[in-house]
Structure 1
Amino acid sequence: MERVSSRIAAIAESATLAVDAKAKAMKAAGRPVVGFGAGEPDFPTPDYIVAAAEAACRNPAMHKYTPTAGLPALREAVAAKTLRDSGYRVDPSQVLITNGGKQAVYEAFATLLDPGDEVLVPAPYWTTYPEAIKLAGGVQVDVPTDESSGFLATVEQLERARTKRTKVVLFVSPSNPTGAVYPAEMVAEIGRWAAEHGLWVVTDEIYEHLVYGGARFQSIAAAVPELADRVVVLNGVAKTFAMTGWRVGWMIGPPDVVKAATNLQSHATSNVANVSQAAALAAVSGDLSAVAAMRTAFDRRRQIMVRMLNEIPGVVCPEPLGAFYAYPSVKGLLGRSLRGRRPATSAELAELVLEEAEVAVVPGEAFGTPGYFRLSYALGDDDLVTGLTRVGELFAELA
């Protein structure tokens, strides 16, 4: 008899967290590693949010259990924030506060899927989606995209992938890992197609406020009202408000789905930590001035990163329009000699970059598309330039 269940043994470690952990371990050992791996803003959480948490610590009511689905005031604030930011009107009873966005992802698929149900997943995709689908007994069906289309999946591609077992379409804009942002007309077209075929849409909107240039965020739930009874929206405070460690996310959906997910959470974790919920309440209820300042910095770093990557012969980096990642192709570098090695895959090349240039990147294998790197530009300008300069100097040695 196996010691670990086959279901859990099949889960892969988060590749992004693994790269980040290795980079931090090397730093702790005294090596000057520059980490492009983790999707984590380098800014501190805004002061007014921290102050709300401090006040909550001194409130005895926050020392006790609270409702599993979240503090009523926070659920109301999330509903109001959703209307303000995306134009999608929901009742607070349709909001479930979760322990970070990852719990929202897991609970959404666990609630919607039965064994054998298929989920259409445009690739590249964030590393957690496949594991959550797998844990729920679902079957992931990849819909491949690449830089030629701006990493955007079309209705025609989705339709070709649809079968009688298809139940859910995963829709993510802005995208992790590519930074792709779907234009409004494509968002509406995909939403109408899903509604026409009676499919569920799970949409991850955690990067909604991080869009650049002429790109605009468009919620598929707001764009296609007829989806209301078959759409689940995932979101949280981590990326927008530099609150990755506070662990507050949420899912929004039809009442029966939210009630079922709440029942699941009641046995898994119960309520999210009340101090974190108080901080999140301050975040979503306040204005977006702190967010605007962070977005300006991200935009500057985005432009520097894209320019420096495209200056490296053999690297092709499309311009990301959202989130805080670049997703360059490194296919032109594979199979070439570098410091006595000949990396054949982007995973092997990423390992070489970490060892020889002391720069941490995440290979495309982690996101379902070998031949690419994901680099986060949510780090300081000086570190960004230092890291990319090292990468460029290393790749200049390729034979």
Structure 2
Amino acid sequence: MTRTRSTFASPIVETFGWLKGIEHPADRPLMLVSQAAPVAPPPQELRQALADMVMHNDAIHLYGPVLGLPALREELAAQCSAKYGGRITQDQVAITSGCNQAFAATIATLTDQGDEVIVPTPWYFNHKMWLDMSGVRAVPLPVQGDMLPDPEQAAALITERTRAIVLVTPNNPTGAEYPSGLLRAFCDLARSRGIRLIVDETYRDFDSRDGAPHDLFTDPDWHRTLVHLYSFSKAYRLTGHRVGALATSAELLGEIEKFLDTVTICPTQTGQHAALWGMRNLSGWLAGERDEILARRNAIRDGFPVLAERGWKLRGLGAYFAYLEHPFDRASDTLAKSMVETAGILALPATMFTPPGDSHGARHLRVAFANLDRAGIATFFDRMAALPA
């Protein structure tokens, strides 16, 4: 079996295939709540700055350093140090071609075929796909009723082949924001067992909590255990530019550099310069984006009673996501596919975030609500409430 055949088809690609042959009238257009990405371009001022760079900065069109633009690495290290109250240096930061590549590079560096990585379920499907293609066993750690993983259960899953534990917060797909104490418990567990803790904070800019979401960087030895992943895509609407980042020890980055050099050579220069400009100039704009996402989050919470009356349950809510338990006597993949035609809604079934046959996956849907305004959210609830039993 080849590496790609060892895993499943991309859920995003698969679900877009459900749209073929189905027409949606102009007065009832399709609602896309399947993909967790901004659909709007970057703000005008960033696009203008980027256009000026493309025209006048010759270096932007050439190869750059494998680990990324030094100024961007330095800026990210400084801003993360300030945000988390710890000390992160430029030589502990690398820029990658999207956060998915940051994860792929980390796994390539930490594991060999036959190794194991513990991943809470429901998991982010691209993480699972890369582990499959790497010949690494993803060890499921089912979350509890509050959508949070249990460190004691994780400890029982660690074997001599375990190389890391992966956490995503705010979580994709559940939206759950992991408490600081929970992350500390997982970090202590990983350190005590000599493995790495990979924390993906792609959606951290839309965390509902004020201040640092955890204290992991306050430990002077954080880099010995923690691998921190981040994405600029959501913060500055740079999805098409593919700019992510990771922070860990300089020693581990030396190994990660080998992977990056053979895959992309360097991250896109235009995307890196755009991310740097955004970090230096768009803090106020980003705060407004966060406020709007939190307002939409509140609209989901406030509008949910209309579904609760029909037996639905809101199991998770945060960042871009609402995680819903449905009341119907059919699996979520069947339900989600039928919703395209019956409700004009494309959402992802939780079967795409869980192992085959998992009963949890059969009961839940992920709704990426960030691209719905409040009027759109109201329409979403109207359509969902009208679903036939």
* TM-score scaled by length of structure 2: 0.90
Q: How does 1:229-240 map to 2 (within 5 A)?
A: 229-240=224-235
Instruction: Report SS of the residue matched to 1:327.
Output: strand
CA distance in 1, matches of 2:352, 2:121: 11
Residue-pair matches, total: 378
The aligned residue for residue 371 of structure 1 is: 363
**Runs of 5+ in structure 1 lacking a partner?**
336-343
Residues 177-208 of structure 1, C-alpha deviation per residue, up to 9 Å, x if partnerless? 11111212222122112111111111101111
Matched, 1:131 2:129: yes
The aligned residue for residue 158 of structure 2 is: 162
The aligned residue for residue 11 of structure 1 is: 7
Matched, 1:356 2:342: yes
- Matched to 1:378, the amino acid is A
Conserved 8 A contact 1:211-1:217:
no
The aligned residue for residue 273 of structure 1 is: 268
The aligned residue for residue 244 of structure 1 is: 239
Q: How does 1:230-309 map to 2 (within 5 A)?
A: 230-309=225-304
Instruction: Report SS of the residue matched to 2:120.
Output: strand
CA distance in 2, matches of 1:166, 1:182: 22
- Matched to 1:47, the amino acid is Q
Q: Residue 23 of structure 1: CA displacement?
A: 5.2
Matched, 1:107 2:105: yes
CA distance in 1, matches of 2:322, 2:249: 34
Conserved 8 A contact 2:147-2:315:
no
Q: Residue 223 of structure 1: CA displacement?
A: 5.0
Residue 183 to residue 90, structure 1, CA distance change in 2 (3 Å): same
CA distance in 2, matches of 1:89, 1:295: 25
CA distance in 1, matches of 2:205, 2:6: 34
CA distance in 2, matches of 1:90, 1:357: 48
- Matched to 1:356, the amino acid is T
- Matched to 2:85, the amino acid is G
Q: Residue 256 of structure 1: CA displacement?
A: 2.3
The aligned residue for residue 60 of structure 1 is: 58
CA distance in 1, matches of 2:159, 2:225: 18
Q: Residue 113 of structure 1: CA displacement?
A: 0.7
The aligned residue for residue 357 of structure 2 is: none
Conserved 8 A contact 1:231-1:253:
yes
CA distance in 2, matches of 1:220, 1:373: 32
The aligned residue for residue 338 of structure 1 is: none
* TM-score scaled by length of structure 1: 0.88
Matched, 1:187 2:179: no
The aligned residue for residue 75 of structure 2 is: 77
Q: How does 1:207-246 map to 2 (within 5 A)?
A: 207-212=203-208, 217-219=212-214, 221-222=216-217, 224-246=219-241
Instruction: Report SS of the residue matched to 1:272.
Output: coil
CA distance in 2, matches of 1:143, 1:359: 30
Instruction: Report SS of the residue matched to 1:122.
Output: strand
CA distance in 1, matches of 2:199, 2:349: 24
**Runs of 5+ in structure 2 lacking a partner?**
355-360
The aligned residue for residue 358 of structure 2 is: none
Instruction: Report SS of the residue matched to 1:19.
Output: helix
Q: Residue 309 of structure 1: CA displacement?
A: 3.6
Instruction: Report SS of the residue matched to 1:6.
Output: coil
CA distance in 2, matches of 1:371, 1:181: 21
Q: Residue 12 of structure 1: CA displacement?
A: 2.1
- Matched to 1:317, the amino acid is L
- Matched to 1:169, the amino acid is I
- Matched to 1:278, the amino acid is H
Residue 67 to residue 25, structure 1, CA distance change in 2 (3 Å): farther
- Matched to 1:124, the amino acid is P
Residue 354 to residue 160, structure 1, CA distance change in 2 (3 Å): same
